[in-house]
């Protein structure tokens, strides 16, 4: 299960057989293409935040259940 949350976004989707590394790489590649390079900020053993002056992404695998949380914060408030 993948849950994406943002300021005006809360979506959940179920997929079979997707590993977190491949999924996270796809999300990061898409955001880098749209928003430019992202700085990596380590938070804990399993969590990193990726950010720049336009967007912040917090990608977090919630456990062995295969649930991924993506928390997105857009710095440009006009993007709603």
* Every domain of the chain and the residues it spans: 2-74
- Compute CA 26 distance to the chain's CA centroid, rounded to the nearest angstrom: 10
User: φ and ψ at 28, to 5 degrees?
Assistant: -65, -40
Output the pLDDT for position 54. Answer: 93
Condensed to tens digits (0 to 9), the pLDDT of residues 20-48 reads 778 788 889 989 999 999 999 998 877 88
Only one residue has tokens 């293409």, namely: 33
Phi, psi of 18 (to 5 degrees): -125, 125
Q: What pLDDT, on a 0 to 100 scale, did the predictor assign at position 20? A: 73
Question: Model-level pTM greater than 0.95?
Answer: no
Straight-line distance from the first to the last Cα atom of the chain, in angstroms, rounded to the nearest whole number: 25
Contact call for residues 59 and 72 (beta carbons, < 8 A): no
């Amino acid at each position: 299960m993948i849950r994406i949350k943002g300021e005006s976004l809360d979506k959940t989707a179920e997929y079979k057989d997707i590993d977190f590394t491949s999924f996270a790489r796809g999300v990061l590649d898409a955001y880098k293409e749209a928003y430019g390079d992202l700085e990596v900020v380590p938070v804990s053993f399993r969590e990193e935040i990726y950010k720049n002056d336009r967007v912040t992404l917090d990608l977090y695998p919630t456990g062995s259940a295969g649930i991924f949380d993506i928390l997105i914060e857009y710095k440009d408030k006009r993007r709603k």
